[in-house]
């Protein structure tokens, strides 16, 4: 099926179910481990720095393979690459159950992140392929809700599983859902969807981009060391080379002219990058804060973090539907501001802050991200040409993951400064609290920038039924 036209109604909604379940599985596997890190660190005798790399290495794999996966999906089939991603993610998770050391966990987390990149890069492109333009708001909203539900529900589920069975069983949590998704795709969703034309894959560009991501992380997490500063400078050179190469190629991994052609597209991606730079470290840091500073169990910490997940899951589909009728700039900007207020409250946390205060702050964060994510995703996808929805989806997810990686790398830097290679235990409560405070200040800077850029992006206009991606007026 080399046709981007919408699928039949029954197949269309089955694709939505499969994509939403996949959108839940990938972040569930990525983030559920965060709440199990104290238990894992104790059993594997891991230092604070190595523990901080557990969430980071997933992001590195995401960045390296996100654009290649989007391009391969346009060439080889979006459903096929989505299915391969689920398989690789699941295999790595299952093998992590038997990991004998923190180093083995890190290697398997890299492969887990590679599979997640293949899923993230194709999920929205699949929805764009099967839903007509005037009916995409709700599916994209539901997809966003499942992604963020997975990211923020994961600590609660991970906490319960860790307390009941141990940290290793956290890696097995997604397996039942994986069976459902693969069965649904194989038996009930026939055919596949491609881009309008087959193009050559730029392997040199992909390697260049992967080298940039690795150099960026190594450089950021080792500052202000001289060697690490040199690696960080090298990362900027590699990024420049990548952009220059992509601008000159007839068949690039990403057509960088897309950023110049649409201010709406480029500013929406910049807003996403700033928003997600603030978001990813929150689950990691709050999990450590609640368990080491406040003395919560893994399950209790997960229940506190559940507030953000439930709020986001309720708001994101509604915001996605509203994006079909209201200017996305205002919906997304309100979301940025609500998130900013929530982080403002979190920045005041101390050793005796009441639990109700933390819950109220997480409610605002969940409300803000729910309002922001679906409208912003909707604008980006509607700004892309029909032949480039796979690359546009990958670029949007790439902006999210690059933001996550920048935020997490800087938090790793704070961990390196304040905790070093000391083993993780309760004696680190004071430096952990100091690290949390530094991270919240950084997040407030990112969120203030996101709110400003969101307001400056301009209006998307109102779509008419039948408009294809790339026809939204800026």
For residue 233, the enclosing domain spans: 202-252
Any idea what the CATH number is for the domain that residue 271 is in? 1.20.1250.20
In a domain, 465, yes or no: no
Contact assessment for residue 296 and residue 353, using Cβ atoms and an 8 Å cutoff: no
pLDDT of the residue at 266: 86
211 plus 192 within the same structural domain: no
190 plus 209 within the same structural domain: no
- Region of 7 (left: φ > 0; alpha: ψ -120 to 50; beta: rest) is beta
233 plus 116 within the same structural domain: no
d(CA 135, CA 385): 17
d(CA 115, CA 286): 26
In a domain, 60, yes or no: yes
pLDDT of the residue at 100: 92
Three-state SS at 47 = strand
pLDDT of the residue at 109: 93
437 plus 349 within the same structural domain: yes
Quote the number of domains for the chain.
Answer: 2
272 plus 206 within the same structural domain: no
pLDDT of the residue at 5: 46
d(CA 281, CA 52): 10
Over the chain (474 residues), what is each successive 10-residue block's mean pLDDT?
Answer: 48 84 83 84 84 85 82 82 91 92 93 89 81 75 75 78 90 89 80 66 83 85 77 92 86 76 84 89 84 86 83 83 78 92 93 91 92 83 67 74 84 81 70 88 94 78 41 36
In a domain, 291, yes or no: yes
pLDDT of the residue at 127: 84
Beta bridge partners of 423: 47
pTM of the model: 0.74
* Best CA proximity match to 325, nearest among 470, 453, 464, 466: 464
225 plus 345 within the same structural domain: no
CB crowding 278-295: b at 16 or more within 10 Å, else e: bbbbbbbbbbbbbbbbbe
In a domain, 369, yes or no: yes
160 plus 114 within the same structural domain: yes
DSSP tag of 365: H
In a domain, 1, yes or no: no
273 plus 127 within the same structural domain: yes
In a domain, 33, yes or no: yes
Contact assessment for residue 320 and residue 91, using Cβ atoms and an 8 Å cutoff: no
In a domain, 166, yes or no: yes
189 plus 232 within the same structural domain: no
In a domain, 469, yes or no: no
- The number of residues making up the chain comes to 474
185 plus 209 within the same structural domain: no
């Amino acid at each position: 099926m080399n046709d981007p036209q919408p699928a039949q109604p029954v197949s269309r909604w089955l694709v939505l179910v499969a994509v939403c379940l996949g959108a839940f599985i990938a972040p569930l596997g990525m983030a559920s481990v965060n709440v199990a890190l104290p238990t894992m660190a104790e059993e594997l005798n891991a230092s604070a720095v190595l523990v901080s790399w557990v969430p980071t290495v997933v992001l590195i794999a995401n960045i390296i393979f996100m654009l290649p996966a989007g391009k391969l999906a346009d060439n080889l089939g979006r459903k096929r690459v989505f299915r391969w991603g689920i398989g690789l993610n699941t295999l790595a998770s299952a093998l992590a159950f038997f990991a004998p050391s923190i180093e083995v966990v890190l290697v398997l987390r890299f492969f887990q992140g590679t599979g997640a990149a293949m899923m993230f890069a194709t999920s929205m492109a699949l929805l764009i392929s099967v839903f007509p333009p005037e009916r995409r708001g709700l599916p994209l909203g539901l997809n966003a809700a499942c992604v963020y539900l997975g990211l923020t529900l994961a600590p609660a589920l991970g906490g319960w599983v860790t307390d009941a069975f141990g940290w290793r069983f956290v890696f097995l949590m997604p397996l039942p859902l994986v069976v459902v998704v693969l069965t649904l795709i194989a038996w009930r969703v026939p055919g596949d969807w491609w881009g309008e034309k087959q193009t050559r894959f730029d392997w040199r560009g992909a390697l260049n981009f992967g080298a940039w991501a690795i150099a960026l992380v190594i450089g950021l997490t080792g500052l202000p060391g001289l060697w690490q500063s040199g690696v960080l400078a090298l990362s900027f050179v590699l990024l420049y080379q990548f952009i220059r190469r992509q601008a000159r190629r007839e068949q690039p991994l990403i057509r960088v002219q897309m950023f110049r052609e649409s201010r709406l597209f480029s500013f929406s991606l910049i807003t996403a990058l700033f928003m997600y730079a603030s978001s990813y470290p929150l689950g990691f840091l709050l999990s450590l804060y609640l368990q080491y500073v406040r003395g919560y169990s893994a399950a209790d910490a997960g229940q506190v973090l559940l507030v953000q997940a439930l709020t986001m899951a309720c708001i994101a589909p509604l915001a996605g539907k509203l994006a079909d009728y209201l200017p996305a700039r205002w919906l997304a900007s309100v979301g940025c501001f609500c998130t900013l207020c929530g982080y403002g409250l979190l920045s005041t946390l101390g050793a005796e802050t009441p639990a109700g205060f933390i819950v109220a702050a997480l409610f605002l964060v969940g409300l803000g991200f729910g309002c922001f994510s679906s409208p912003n995703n909707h604008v980006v996808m509607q700004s892309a040409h029909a032949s480039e929805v796979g690359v546009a989806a990958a670029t949007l997810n790439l902006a999210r993951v690059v933001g996550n990686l920048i935020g997490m790398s800087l938090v790793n830097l704070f961990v390196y400064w304040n905790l070093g290679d000391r083993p993780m235990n309760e004696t680190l409560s004071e430096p952990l609290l100091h690290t949390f405070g530094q991270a919240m200040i950084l997040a407030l800077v990112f969120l203030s920038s996101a709110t400003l850029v969101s307001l400056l992006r301009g209006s998307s206009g109102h779509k008419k039924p039948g408009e294809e991606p790339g026809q939204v007026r800026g």
